[in-house]
C-alpha cells in the first residue's frame, strides 16, 4: 500500500514537473488590453464584424485593424465602452438592419415542383434551384430565422421572414445564410446608393422609373393610409415629388402590369397626392440624414440635376453648396414650364425642402466670373460636381464677347456659332480641340481664322461612317488640322480656372485594349447639346486639414446605366443623357452623388455588376393576365374655369383621399414575376 502510494506520488511529481516545463515552453502571454476589450464585447460570436468570434475581434481592435465601434452585435454602448478602454472617442455611424427582398411566399407564387426534402432553404436550392419559378424569391423554410443569433427574425403568417428592427443588430448572419440573396442589410444611405440589377426582385414600374422609386412599397403604404410613410419611400429616391407629380411623363405607368388587364395604376397622381398632403400641412417632412462627415462639395448649377445632387449629398452626411448663375434656383423648371402645369409656389416649396436638408445656395454666381475650381478648392471644397446642362450657355449669350463656359475651356458649338454670327470674339486660346462629326471641319477652319494656333478634331465616328472624301481630308491636313477618328473623350484636365488638356481613346488596330492618349488643349468645342455632367477632383489629394492641395484637377464621369454604342464625355448617346424630363435629371443627380460618395471612399465611380441598362433583359410574367377582376382607374379632376386658368390657376386639381385609397388598392404589388391575383386558376 505504501509502495503504491509512493509510486502514485512519484508519478504525480513527474507529471507536475512535466506540466511546469510545458507551461514554460508553450506559455502564451495574454495581452491585458485584448482581454479587457474581449470582456467588453457581448460574446455572441456572431461574426457580423467580419471576424471569427469576439476573441479575434478584440485582437484586431487592439491592433487598430478594426474600429472600436465595429461590433454590430452589442450596440452603441459596447462601442463606447471599447473606445473608453482604448482612450479614444467614437464617431456616430448609421445603423443597419436586415430587410426582406421578396413579396410573395412559396404558397402564393408559381411553383416548379413541390419540395418535401430537408427543411432548409439551402438544401431546397441545391435541388434544381428551389421550388419557385421565380429565381430570386424566398424559399420560406426559415434558414435565416434559425441562424439569427439575436432572435430578430421569425416567419410571418404569410410565410415570409419578418424582421424585428428593435432586436436586429445588423450582424449580417441572415444575409450570409440566405441562398437566394433576398436577406440583406440596409440603411437609408444604402437605399439611396443602391442600383436596381437584373437579379433584384423589382416590379416593372420600379425598373422603368428613372429615379428608381420603390413604387409598390409607396403605393402599398398609401393604400394602408400611411401617407407620411409613402412620402418617405418616394423621398429616398426623389426629392421633388410635388413637381414630378405634376409634370413627370410617368414612363412607369407604361410598364404597369395592369395594362394587360385594363388600365395602369395612376402612379403619378398617387405620388402627387401624398406630396400635396405634406404641403397642405405647411411643414416639410425632413428625411433622415446620415451622420455628418464635415466634407464639403460644390455643385455648379441650381436646376433639377444640381438640386438633386445636393439633396442626396446632404442625406449622405456631406455639406453641399449649390452655385447658380441666375437669381433664383430652379433652372428650366422656373424659366420654361407653364405656371398652369407647375405653379411657382409649388416649385419654391420643393426648393425650400431641399435647402432645409442643410444645402447652402449661392445665387447670382457665374462660373469663370465669380468663382472657378481654384477658388472652390481654396474654400475647402473637396470636389466640384458640374450640373449646368446646355441651355444656359445659349441663354446667357446676351453678354457681348461671352459664351459663359460651364466648365473651364469648354464651349458648345451652337453658342459659339451664335457668338461668331454676332461678330463677337471668343478667346479659345492657342490649342483648340473639336469633338463631333463632319461639321467640325468647317468649325476648325473658323477657329484658325479667329486665331487658333493648332486645331485637332476628334471625330466620334469612323472615317467610313463620316463619308468624308480623301481630297477633303487631305485639304484639312494640309491646313494643319489634325484628325482622329472613332475617338471618345474620357476626361479633361486643368489647373485653376484653365483647361490644360484632355484624354481620349481610339479602337486599337490589333483588337487589344484601347490606350489612353493625351492632348494639350486651351479649349474644347463640342457638338453635344449640353455640357457633360462630370466631377472635378484635385490631382494632389487632401492635406491634413482635409483641404485640397494645389489647384490642378481632372474630371471623373459619374457612372450611369449601360447604353449601347460609343460612350464618353461627348458621345452621341451619352451614358448620362437624363435630361429629357425632370425625373431623369433626378436620377442623374442621385448617381452623381453616389459617384461622389465612392470617390470620397477611395473607390471607383462604378455602378454594380448587372445594373439595369436601356436594353436590359429581365424576367417578366409568362402567363396571360386572365386572373384579374377589372377595376376602373380613378380619373384626375381638372380645373374647368377658363378665367381662373387664364389667371394662372393650376389645370389638374389632384386626387382626394377616397379616390387615392381606391386607386392604391388597384396596385398588384408586383415582384419580379409575381403579382397579386384577384382570381385563382
Q: What is the CATH classification number for the domain harbouring 173?
A: 3.30.70.20
111/300: higher pLDDT = 300
- Residue 258, in any domain of the structure: yes
Q: What is the pLDDT of residues 441-488, one digit of tens each?
A: 888 898 888 888 899 999 888 888 777 778 888 888 888 889 998 888
Residue 624, pLDDT > 80, answer: no
C-alpha cell at 223: 393604400
CA distances to 67, 233, 279, 306 from 228, rounded to whole Å, are 36, 9, 12, 26
Instruction: Quote the percentage of the chain above a pLDDT of 70.
Output: 83
Given a cut of 80, is residue 660 above it in pLDDT? yes
Q: Which of 45, 63, 93 is the last residue of a domain?
A: 93
Residues 299-329 have pLDDT tens digits of: 999 999 999 999 999 999 999 999 998 899 9
The reply to whether 149 and 218 lie within a common domain is no
Enumerate the β-bridge partners of residue 161: 155
What value, to the nearest 5°, has the Cα angle with vertex 228 and ends 223 and 229?
65
What's the pLDDT at 526?
Answer: 86
484 DSSP β-pair partners: 458
Q: pLDDT tens-digit profile of 241-275?
A: 999 999 888 889 988 988 888 889 999 999 999 99
- Cell, residue 288: 433622415
Predicted pLDDT at 576:
37
**Contact between 330 and 292 (Cβ < 8 Å):** no
Please name every residue paired with 357 in a beta bridge, in sequence order, or none if there are none.
Answer: none
CA distance 653 to 637: 6
pLDDT-based confidence at 29, cuts 50/70/90?
low
Most confident of 51-65, 90-104, 127-141, 621-635: 127-141
Confidence of residue 577 (pLDDT cuts 50, 70, 90): very low
The pLDDT of residue 391 is above 60: no
pLDDT value at residue 574: 40
Return the minimum-mean-pLDDT range out of 17-21, 93-97, 557-561.
17-21
Asked which of 258-267, 340-349, 514-523, 623-632 is least confident by mean pLDDT, the reply is 623-632
Co-location of 40 and 75 in the same domain: yes
Same domain, 165 and 103: yes
Is 647 exposed, middle or buried (CB count within 10 Å of its CB: 0-12, 13-18, 19+)? exposed
Per the model's pLDDT, the better-predicted residue between 153 and 609 turns out to be 153
Outline where DSSP puts E strands in 480-620: 481-484, 488-495, 498-505, 516-520, 523-526, 535-538, 552-556
Residue 295 pLDDT:
92
In terms of domains, do 51 and 131 share one?
A: no
* Residue that is written with C-alpha cell 462630370 in the block: 534
Burial of 508 (0-12, 13-18, 19+ CB in 10 A): exposed
Residue 315 belongs to some domain of the structure: no
Q: Exposed e or buried b for every residue in 166-195, given b needs 16+ CB within 10 A?
A: eebbbbbbbbebbbbebbbbbbbbeebbbb
- pLDDT confidence of residue 30: 64
- 8 A C-beta contact, residue 612 and residue 198: yes
pLDDT at 290 over 80: yes
Nearest to 532 by CA among 488, 496, 598: 488
Angle of CA points 467, 472, 474, to nearest 5°? 120
The CATH number covering residue 82 comes to 1.10.15.40
- Does residue 37 form part of some domain? yes
pLDDT at 14: 64
Do 266 and 210 fall within a single domain?
yes
Q: What is the tally of structural domains in the chain? A: 3
The count of other CB atoms within 10 Å of the CB of residue 525 is 29
User: What percent of the chain has pLDDT above 90?
Assistant: 33
Are residue 214 and residue 160 in the same domain, yes or no? no
% helix, strand, coil for the chain, step of 5:
35, 15, 50
DSSP summary character for residue 236:
T
Residues sharing a CB contact under 8 Å with residue 453, sequence separation 6 or more, in sequence order: 430, 431
208-246 burial, b at 16+ Cβ within 10 Å, e below that, comes to: bbbbbbbbbbbbbbbbeeebeebbbbbbbbbbbbbbbbb
pLDDT band of 573, cuts 50, 70, 90: very low
Task: Say whether both 136 and 172 belong to one domain.
Answer: yes
- Average pLDDT of the segment spanning 277-283: 92
**DSSP at 611:** B
- What's the rounded Cα separation, in Å, for the pair 351 and 239? 9
Is 490 part of a structural domain of the chain?
A: no
Q: What is the CA radius of gyration of the chain?
A: 31
The last residue of a domain, from among 46, 76, 93: 93
User: Is the predicted pLDDT of residue 52 greater than 60, yes or no?
Assistant: yes
Q: How confident is the model at residue 578 (pLDDT cuts 50, 70, 90)?
A: very low
Any idea what the CATH number is for the domain that residue 216 is in? 1.10.1060.10
110 is a domain residue: yes
Task: Say yes or no to pLDDT of 217 above 70.
Answer: yes
Give the whole-angstrom CA distance, residue 332 versus residue 305: 11
- Say yes or no to pLDDT of 381 above 90: yes
Q: Which secondary structure element, helix H or strand E, spans residue 485, and what is its range?
A: none
Residue 88 lies in a domain: yes
- 77 and 116 share a domain? no
Q: List all residues 6 or more positions away from 664 whose beta carbon is below 8 Å from its beta carbon.
A: 219, 220, 222, 223, 265, 270
Helix axes 267-281, 227-235, angle to 10 degrees: 110
Residue 622: predicted pLDDT: 54
d(CA 675, CA 257): 9
Consecutive H or E run containing 273: helix 267-281
Residue 393: pLDDT band with limits 50, 70, 90: very low
Decide if 520 is inside a domain. Answer: no
pLDDT at 13 over 80: no
Whether 371 is covered by a domain: the verdict is no
How many angstroms separate the CA atoms of 605 and 551, rounded?
22
Whether residues 119 and 165 share a domain: the answer is yes
pLDDT(23) > 60: no
Arithmetic mean of pLDDT over the chain: 83
Average pLDDT over residues 216-227: 94
Q: Are strands 454-459 and 97-100 parallel, antiparallel or unpaired?
A: unpaired
Confidence at residue 398, expressed as pLDDT on a 0 to 100 scale: 44
In angstroms, the CA 390 to CA 376 distance is 22
- pLDDT higher than 90, residue 74: no
The residue with cell 419559378 is 133
C-alpha cell at 477: 491636313
> Of 63, 93, 123, which residue constitutes the final position of a domain?
93
Taking residues 500-513, report their average pLDDT.
81
Q: Which residue has the higher pLDDT, 186 or 577?
A: 186
Structural domain range at position 256 = 205-288+625-660
Residue 167 sits in the same domain as residue 104? yes
Top pLDDT among 536 and 403 is at 536
* Helix residue ranges, H only, 332-480: 332-335, 344-355, 373-378, 391-395, 413-421, 440-449, 463-466, 470-478
Alpha-carbon distance of 269 to 219, in angstroms, equals: 11
Amino acid at each position: 500500500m505504501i509502495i503504491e502510494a509512493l509510486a502514485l506520488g512519484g508519478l504525480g511529481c513527474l507529471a507536475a514537473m512535466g506540466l511546469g516545463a510545458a507551461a514554460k515552453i508553450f506559455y502564451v502571454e495574454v495581452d491585458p488590453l485584448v482581454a479587457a476589450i474581449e470582456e467588453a464585447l457581448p460574446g455572441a460570436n456572431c461574426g457580423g464584424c467580419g471576424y471569427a468570434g469576439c476573441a479575434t475581434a478584440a485582437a484586431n481592435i487592439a491592433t487598430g485593424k478594426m474600429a472600436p465601434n465595429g461590433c454590430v452585435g452589442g450596440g452603441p454602448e459596447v462601442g463606447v465602452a471599447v473606445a473608453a478602454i482604448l482612450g479614444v472617442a467614437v464617431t456616430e455611424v448609421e445603423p443597419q438592419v436586415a430587410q426582406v427582398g421578396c413579396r410573395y411566399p412559396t404558397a402564393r407564387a408559381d411553383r416548379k415542383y413541390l419540395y418535401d426534402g430537408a427543411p432548409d432553404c439551402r438544401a431546397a436550392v441545391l435541388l434544381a434551384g428551389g421550388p419557385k419559378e421565380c429565381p430570386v424569391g424566398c424559399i420560406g423554410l426559415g434558414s435565416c430565422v434559425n441562424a439569427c443569433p439575436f432572435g430578430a427574425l421569425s416567419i410571418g403568417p404569410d410565410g415570409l421572414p419578418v424582421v424585428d428592427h428593435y432586436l436586429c443588430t445588423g450582424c449580417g448572419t441572415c444575409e450570409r445564410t440566405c441562398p437566394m440573396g433576398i436577406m440583406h442589410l440596409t440603411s437609408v444611405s444604402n437605399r439611396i446608393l443602391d442600383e436596381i440589377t437584373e437579379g433584384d426582385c423589382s416590379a416593372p414600374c420600379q425598373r422603368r422609373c428613372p429615379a428608381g422609386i420603390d413604387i409598390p412599397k409607396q403605393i402599398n403604404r398609401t393604400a394602408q393610409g400611411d401617407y407620411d410613410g409613402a412620402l418617405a419611400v418616394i423621398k429616398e429616391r426623389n426629392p421633388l415629388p410635388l413637381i414630378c407629380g405634376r409634370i413627370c411623363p410617368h414612363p412607369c405607368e407604361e410598364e404597369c402590369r395592369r395594362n394587360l388587364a385594363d388600365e395602369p395604376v395612376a402612379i403619378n397622381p398617387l405620388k402627387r397626392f401624398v406630396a400635396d398632403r405634406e404641403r397642405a400641412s405647411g411643414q416639410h417632412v425632413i428625411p433622415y440624414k446620415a451622420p455628418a462627415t464635415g466634407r464639403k462639395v460644390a455643385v455648379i448649377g441650381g436646376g433639377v440635376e444640381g438640386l438633386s445632387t445636393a439633396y442626396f449629398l446632404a442625406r449622405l452626411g456631406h455639406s453641399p453648396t449649390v452655385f447658380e448663375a441666375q437669381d433664383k434656383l430652379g433652372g428650366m423648371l422656373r424659366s420654361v414650364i407653364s405656371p398652369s402645369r407647375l405653379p411657382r409656389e409649388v416649385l419654391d416649396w420643393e426648393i425650400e425642402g431641399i435647402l432645409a436638408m442643410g444645402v447652402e445656395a449661392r445665387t447670382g454666381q457665374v462660373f469663370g466670373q465669380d468663382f472657378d475650381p481654384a477658388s472652390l478648392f481654396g474654400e475647402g471644397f473637396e470636389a466640384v460636381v458640374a450640373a449646368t446642362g446646355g441651355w444656359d450657355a445659349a441663354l446667357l449669350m446676351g453678354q457681348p464677347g461671352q459664351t459663359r463656359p460651364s466648365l473651364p475651356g469648354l464651349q458648345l458649338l451652337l453658342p459659339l456659332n451664335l457668338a461668331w454670327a454676332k461678330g463677337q470674339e471668343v478667346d479659345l486660346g492657342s490649342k483648340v480641340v473639336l469633338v463631333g462629326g463632319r461639321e467640325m471641319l468647317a468649325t476648325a477652319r473658323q477657329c484658325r481664322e479667329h486665331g487658333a494656333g493648332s486645331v485637332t478634331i476628334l471625330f466620334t465616328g469612323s472615317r467610313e461612317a463620316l463619308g468624308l472624301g480623301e481630297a477633303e481630308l487631305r485639304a484639312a491636313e494640309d491646313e494643319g488640322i489634325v484628325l482622329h477618328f472613332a475617338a471618345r473623350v474620357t476626361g479633361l484636365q486643368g489647373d485653376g480656372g484653365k483647361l490644360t488638356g484632355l484624354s481620349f481613346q481610339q479602337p486599337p488596330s490589333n483588337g487589344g485594349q484601347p490606350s489612353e492618349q493625351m492632348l494639350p488643349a486651351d479649349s474644347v468645342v463640342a457638338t453635344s447639346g449640353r455640357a457633360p455632367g462630370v466631377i472635378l477632383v484635385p490631382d494632389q489629394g487632401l492635406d491634413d486639414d482635409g483641404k485640397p492641395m494645389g489647384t490642378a484637377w481632372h474630371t471623373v464621369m459619374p457612372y450611369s446605366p449601360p447604353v449601347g454604342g460609343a460612350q464618353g464625355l461627348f458621345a452621341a448617346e451619352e451614358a448620362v443623357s437624363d435630361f429629357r424630363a425632370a425625373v431623369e435629371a433626378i436620377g442623374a443627380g442621385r448617381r452623381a452623388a453616389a459617384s461622389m460618395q465612392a470617390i470620397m471612399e477611395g473607390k471607383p465611380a462604378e455602378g454594380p455588376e448587372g445594373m439595369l441598362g436601356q436594353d436590359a433583359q429581365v424576367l417578366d410574367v409568362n402567363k396571360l393576365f386572365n386572373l384579374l377582376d377589372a377595376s376602373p382607374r380613378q380619373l384626375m379632376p381638372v380645373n374647368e374655369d377658363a378665367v381662373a386658368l387664364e389667371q394662372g390657376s393650376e389645370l389638374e386639381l389632384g386626387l382626394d383621399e377616397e379616390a387615392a385609397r381606391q386607386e392604391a388598392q388597384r396596385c398588384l404589388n408586383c415582384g419580379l414575376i409575381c403579382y397579386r391575383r384577384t382570381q385563382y386558376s
